[in-house]
Every structure is written in C-alpha cells, then in structure tokens.
Amino acid sequence: RGKRAFIAGIADDNGYGWAIAKSLAAAGAEILVGTWVPALNIFETSLRRGKFDESRVLPDGSLMEITKVYPLDAVFDSLEDVPEDIKTNKRYAGSSKWTVSEVAESVKEDFGSIDILVHSLANGPEVTKPLLETSRRGYLAAISASSYSYVSLLKHFLPIMNPGGSSISLTYIASERIIPGYGGGMSSAKAALESDTRVLAFEAGRKQKVRVNTISAGPLRSRAAKAIGFIDMMIDYSIANAPLQRELSADEVGNTAAFLASPLASAITGAVIYVDNGLNAMGVGV
C-alpha cells in the first residue's frame, strides 16, 4: 500500500503546502488536505473549475489527485472551544466538524490511518508590528495559530499514525536570528515550534515510532508571505547574500518534505532542516 498524507494549510497553489503535496503525490502518496474554513469555498471551487490544473502536473505528466479536502481551523481543538460569533459566522456555518479533534475523527472514519502529517500553516494578526508594539492578544494569537496548532494536530492525529510515520512542519530563521519585520510574536511562535519539534520527537518517537522534524525554509512569495509585506526584499536579500545565489523554489521544500517522510530519513527526528540556499550559515551579508 502507498502512504497516506494529511497536509494542513493549503488554500491555493502558491504556498509550501501545495508544493509538499505535489512532491508526496509524485512519490506515490495519497493526499488529504486540511483547508482553513474561511478559504475553503474558493479553494474547492478553483480546484473543481480546473484553475490549478497547470500546477497539478506531476513529473510523469499525470495530475496530482487530492482525495479529500477537510475544512479545518487549527486554533480550535473541539467544538466546546468555538465562540458563538464564529459558530454563527456565515463562512463557518456552511461547514462542520472543522476543529482539530473532529477533523482527526473524520479522517479516522474515512481512511482509518495516515502515515504522514504536514503542518504548513501560520497566522499572526499583528505580524507587521514590531514585538515592542505587539499586544498580548496578538502575541498569544500568533502562538495559538502557528505553534500550539501543531501540538494539537500531532496530539489528535498521532493515535491514527502508523508506526514509522513522519510529521513535518515549516519554520523560519526569524526564530533564532533577528529578522526585523517578522513581528507580532511570529518570531517567538517559530522558536516555540522548533523547541516543540524536539520534545514532540521524543514523545511521538517513544509512543508511536513517529518521527518529527521541521523545515526551516527560505523566502517564498506565498499568500501568507505577501501579507507580511517584505517578501520581495527577503528574496532579493537571499539571492544577493546566500552561498547559492538563486531564487528558492517551493518544489525544493516539497522534495525535502518527501525525503523526510521517506525511509531514506529513517534516523532523522527532532531536527531543524534548512532549505534556504544556505543563507542560515552566513554571518554577514556580502
């Protein structure tokens, strides 16, 4: 049997989640997707109307198939956590069972188990504000959507992950080096995600023989990155200063995820893997 992957955080064909889905599909995995509830309608409509067909093409010429798209809001663990204004919000009321525990339950009912879990989502409502100007609410929201969302996903999916399985998230160098502009507590959220990667690797490894790694990715012009507002500058900076002076392609992150999910990476767990043309290794720009 081929492997089955659940990828949380795909809402278009521009982000890392999509590229990871493609690399896993090219390697023969079955693809299940978790899409943020407010983005679900447009994503499903675009898929159905063939808007993504060009970017669905795999190396062998076939089109990536997404077996099922689940609505997901990773800041809520169960229905009891959902406040009334969200429950009755027009964009949420049209879908159901989108809290993390309910999505895991649905995947279990539909497919029984998965082999690969991917967390490719982040959200920081005050990301454009410097940390010194970030509110408590904004900081905690960044941590909730970008860090605890991963703890929660792994917690709820681990019981249906096959031994030998692999879990992957996406992080950014702003966790360990100063990147002015990556604000709102997002740098803190990535630091938490990387630390959690190590602790979760221990716990999931001992409990279920599941490996847990995170990819520290270089800059990509995704929807989320454009919202931060400095992505073109970061791409130019990387091309000017990284050991490899070239633009990073999302596929390169996708291929690393496929490697990490494969038996080729069977002894790699608790690791932060840099896929950034080597920029992380530089001490000064030249």
Instruction: Tell whether residue 275 is a contact of ligand NAI (CB under 6 A).
Output: no
Tokens of 227: 């919202």
| Residue among 17 and 185 whose Cβ is closer to ligand NAI | 17
Q: Are 4 and 30 in contact (CB under 8 A)?
A: yes
Does the annotation mark 150 as catalytic? no
Question: Which residue from 5, 6, 16, 142 is in contact with ligand NAI, where contact means CB under 6 A?
Answer: 16
Instruction: Tell whether residue 224 is a contact of ligand NAI (CB under 6 A).
Output: yes
Instruction: Tell whether residue 257 is a contact of ligand NAI (CB under 6 A).
Output: no
Question: Which residue from 17, 138, 183, 254 is in contact with ligand NAI, where contact means CB under 6 A?
Answer: 17
> What's the CA gap between 188 and 131, in Å, rounded?
9
Instruction: Tell whether residue 121 is a contact of ligand NAI (CB under 6 A).
Output: yes
Question: Which residue from 145, 200, 260, 271 is in contact with ligand NAI, where contact means CB under 6 A?
Answer: 145
Instruction: Tell whether residue 47 is a contact of ligand NAI (CB under 6 A).
Output: no
Instruction: Tell whether residue 122 is a contact of ligand NAI (CB under 6 A).
Output: yes
Per-residue 3-state assignment (H helix, E strand, C coil) for the chain: CCCEEEEECCCCCCCHHHHHHHHHHHCCCEEEEEEEHHHHHHHHHHHHCCCCCHHHECCCCCECCEEEEEEECCCCCCHHHCCHHHHCCHHHHCCCCCCHHHHHHHHHHHHCCEEEEEECCCCCCCCCCCHHHCCHHHHHHHHHHHHHHHHHHHHHHHHHEEEEEEEEEEECHHHCCCCCCCCCCHHHHHHHHHHHHHHHHHHHHHHHCCEEEEEEECCCCCHHHHHHCCHHHHHHHHHHHCCCCCCCCHHHHHHHHHHHHCHHHCCCCCCEEEECCCHHHCCCCC
| Residue among 39 and 131 whose Cβ is closer to ligand NAI | 39
Question: Which residue from 33, 64, 142, 220 is in contact with ligand NAI, where contact means CB under 6 A?
Answer: 220
Instruction: Tell whether residue 222 is a contact of ligand NAI (CB under 6 A).
Output: yes
Does the annotation mark 172 as catalytic? yes
To ligand NAI, the closest distance from the beta carbon of 121 in angstroms equals 3
Question: Which residue from 21, 25, 33, 36 is in contact with ligand NAI, where contact means CB under 6 A?
Answer: 36
Instruction: Tell whether residue 153 is a contact of ligand NAI (CB under 6 A).
Output: no
| Residue among 39 and 82 whose Cβ is closer to ligand NAI | 39
Nearest to 210 by CA among 152, 272, 273, 167: 167
Of 70, 139, 148, 182, the active-site residue reads: 182
Interacting stretch for ligand NAI, rule CB under 6 A, among 21-29, 57-65, 108-116, 120-128? Answer: 120-128
Interacting stretch for ligand NAI, rule CB under 6 A, among 103-111, 166-174, 239-247, 254-262? Answer: 166-174
Question: Which residue from 7, 11, 143, 242 is in contact with ligand NAI, where contact means CB under 6 A?
Answer: 11
Of 70, 139, 148, 172, the active-site residue reads: 172
Q: CB within 8 A of 130, min separation 6: which ones?
A: 180, 183
Phi/psi for 186 (5° steps) reads: -70, -35
Q: Which residues of this protein are in contact with ligand NAI, per CB under 6 A?
A: 9-11, 14-17, 36, 39, 72-75, 120-123, 145, 170-172, 217, 219-220, 222-225
User: Could you give the residue numbers annotated as active site?
Assistant: 172, 182
